[in-house]
Structure 1
Amino acid sequence: MDRLSTDARSALMARVRSQNTVPEMTVRRLLHRMGYRFRLHRKDLPGSPDIVLPKYKIAIFVHGCFWHRHAGCRRCSTPRSNAEFWEEKFRRNVARDAQNMEKIINEGWTPIVIWECETKSADALAQKMHYLLMPKLT
């Protein structure tokens, strides 16, 4: 049974955003500090990547651990109520993500996935971004 009323649950879910999230803004600020210029939410690319470095053909997806099922992450829980619905929803999300990755690679782009939990440590995120971007830029 859900702890929240239907109206409260609806209000909570309405606050969940797909663009300009805190993890996405963290990655954007870091990239800007590193000197990269980028485009946002390119709808003409598969999966509409959160951040695109067109000069280098790099597409960055900032995934929420809960919604995109980050394996082994503590944020990747499954609600107990209506579990069947949630499992199907998560299965579709993961399948769509895999399909988008395949499409974007086939179009000649390099996809990079940054998980929400990886944005919690600025130093670790900076190291990861440097490690992922440097080989692609040379």
Structure 2
Amino acid sequence: MVISRQHVHEMIEHARAGFPNEACGLVASTEDRAVKVYCIENSDPSPVFYHMDPQEQLRAIMEIDDAGWDLGAIFHSHTRTSAYPSQTDVGLAHYPDALYIIVSLAAEPDPEIKAFRIKDGGIREAFLEVVE
């Protein structure tokens, strides 16, 4: 996925604002290019788990559909571990066509961001091209 530096910044700042709990959201895309980041409240605040606020998530999905965009990625933060999917992340990965982006704050002030495809329990790192 091609994503702008501004979109990456939005995800990182949302993760920092949610610290010490995980933060989460969605990324809309078209033709494998990010077009909008949706920062969604973690309705079950925890440093090791996230649950998107259902109403905010529904509004974002409806806007994505209405605009003719795709659900390009689901993102969340890891507060103390690397940017790699946990077993919990794998178990909750129900959208095999979307990327899973993880923003790790473990190495602050230099956050790590990586993308993955998670399908049928398998994890494969995906290319994330950050552009101006």
Q: TM > 0.5 between the two?
A: no
- Tell me the TM-score normalised to structure 1 length: 0.32
Q: Which has the higher strand share?
A: 2
Structure whose alpha-carbon radius of gyration is higher? 1
- Tell me the TM-score normalised to structure 2 length: 0.33
